[in-house]
Amino acid sequence: MMGVAGYPAISRGSENRWRAERLTGARKGAVAAGHPETAKAAAIVLEEGGNAFDAALAAIFAACIAEPVLTSLGGGGFLLAKPLSGEGVIYDFFAHTPKVRRPDGESALFPIIADFGATQQEFHIGMGSIATPGMVAGLFAVHADLGRMPLAKIVEPALALTRDGVLVNRLQAYIFEVVGPIYRSNDTCCRVYASTEHPDRLVCAGDRFRLPGYADTLEALVREGEAVFYRGDMACVLLQDCAENGGHLTLQDMEGYRVAKRRPLSIDFCGARILTNPPPSLGGILIAFGLELLQRAGIGKAAFGSIEHLSLLSSVMDATNRARVESAIHDMKAEDVEATLLSADLLGRYEREVLGAPSMTRGTTHISIIDAEGNAASVTTSNGEGCGYLIPGTGIMMNNMLGEEDINPHGFNRWPTDRRMASMMAPSMVLRPNGGEMVLGSGGSNRIRTAILQVLVNVLAFGMPLDKAVSHPRIHYEGGDLCMEAGFDGGVLRDLCATFPRHRLWQEMNLFFGGVHAVSFDPSSEGFSGVGDARRGGVAVVPGAQ
């Protein structure tokens, strides 16, 4: 667990001390996020009297400059809110497909290769990759429903970052390097994202990054509301550029965008209730499918880290991938997905297959917050990798969601029109019978669901402390390939390599395997705790701690 300058690392205390501090507000809650400045923005808002939802919004505004490849006001996401005295609700403000699809020859879409080192992944960018963005609408919807602090106060930490710039850390520099072809794709991007010390390169560790125009954008949003983005000057420039340069967006898309509020998917696992992202997004339902198979297979009976444990995990990951394809959930109505994927017949068939198996056999960021009052927010946002187009004068990089292979199963420029896009993002919460809470989520494209799955299993099935559950090496099985992080027992690794001839081994923790940022509150013993996943530069802080 890492601390943020100005905020001490989380410590433990007695049962009475934690209970008293939560009630008196000496400690304002707990925050975990993917960058020190993102977490600090949330902490500042909690310190100044905001609730968990105000803090989540402040963190998102700050992340757009602190984690500029991973999120943007030109993208979208999901926020799972659990007020202390109410039911959980998912705010779905993910990208939406345009109402009209231009012919192939008129759509500006071209591939780039992202190089993760041990593996490569192809993405598509250009104006033809931009889906209708939902981030701005989502932030305003959450603020209207649950916010307590004025928006002008919520954006102050992000405004301070735009004035002072953000010191680029090694992870953010590495992310720029991975997707460098996008941010070098045109002169405008080259100017904005160039290193201050080495102008012929993208921003490097140690550079102070500034995002021209972003402060003006924040001030315009506070002054004029979301309309300035969807119907005002920003929209006019964006839509004209789309029309002239191979994009699909029209005024009808921007004006017609609506935030959807949904009931979270609820799962019982190892004595706890898990809330996560429901259909039409896919991450949560696939996590539910995997957890149910693991529970039926008795995952907690295997020795942790043994070949039996990891082989069972691999088999369940494989079964989940194949069930996703077999059930054709991409093509279903949202209301049919849960009944189909979690049906007794489908689960039973894959349960028999898993139990019968041989025993040896994108850009996204997340923020987790619990406040001292018991409100909890789990929010995952994404800009894809960015499409290479900045709305002039705004600092807003637009998304490339229509260029994401993971969420375009029908092929590029074959997406169904006017439909909320599917996503693997799965902001989640764990509610324990004793009143304890855990908030978690991850970035990482297709690895989101397996990263969250493994942390949940580590905590709930094997009783691991939260920090160890997040930092433990992970695996990811997909398409016949087993990806593994180093750190497992040497004999187990050899057995896994022999069992899965198609395998790749990372010698150190890598952002490829997601980044689970999590916080928790245990009323009986530990109080607030949290961990930011080092794979994605994570930090955890307790505002108000001395």
Mean pLDDT across the chain, nearest whole number? 85
Which candidate in 364, 365, 380, 381 is catalytic? 364
Mean pLDDT: which of 93-102, 174-183, 348-357 is highest? Answer: 93-102
Q: How large is the average pLDDT for residues 213-227?
A: 97
| 84-88: Cβ within 8 A, 24+ apart | 84/373, 84/374, 84/375, 87/263, 88/263, 88/264, 88/275, 88/429
Element (H, E) at 263: none
Phi/psi of residue 7, nearest 5 degrees: -135, 125
**333 or 484, higher pLDDT:** 484
Q: DSSP readout, 78-114?
A: EEEEE-TTS--EEEEE--B--SS---GGG---EEEEE
Burial 395-405 (b: 16+ CB within 10 A, else e): bbbbbbbbbbb
The 10s digit of each residue's pLDDT in 189-199 is 999 999 988 88
Q: Which phi and psi angles does 2 have, rounded to 5°?
A: -115, 150
pLDDT digits (tens, 9 = 90+) for 366-376: 999 999 999 99
CB 363 within 8 A of CB 400: no
Task: Check if the beta carbon of residue 96 is closer than 8 Å to that of residue 401.
Answer: no
CATH of domain 262-364+425-539: 3.60.20.40
pLDDT at 296: 82
Helix, strand, coil percentages (3-state) for the chain, rounded to 5, are 40, 20, 40
Q: Do strands 364-371 and 166-167 pair parallel, antiparallel, or not at all (unpaired)?
A: unpaired
pLDDT at 218 over 50: yes
Asked if 364 is an active-site residue, the reply is yes
Judged against a pLDDT cut of 60, whether residue 351 lies above it is answered with: no
- Mean pLDDT across 175-197: 90
Check whether 463 has a pLDDT greater than 80: yes
- Predicted local confidence at residue 7, as pLDDT: 37
Point out the least confidently predicted range of 108-112, 178-182, 292-296, 338-342. 338-342
From-to residues of CATH 3.60.20.40 in the chain: 262-364+425-539
Q: Provide the token pair at 109.
A: 């879409």
In this predicted structure, what is the pLDDT of residue 343? Answer: 56
**Which helix (H) or strand (E) covers residue 443, if one does?**
strand 442-443
**Strand boundaries in 120-233, DSSP class E:** 120-125, 166-167, 208-209
**Average pLDDT in the 101-116 region?**
83
Instruction: Report the run of H or E that residue 430 belongs to, with start and end.
Output: strand 428-431
Paired with 529 in beta bridges are: 520
From CA 472, how far away is CA 466, in angstroms rounded? 10
State the distance between the two ends of the chain, measured CA to CA, in whole angstroms.
17
pLDDT for the residue 412: 79
Q: Are 311 and 359 in contact (CB under 8 A)?
A: yes
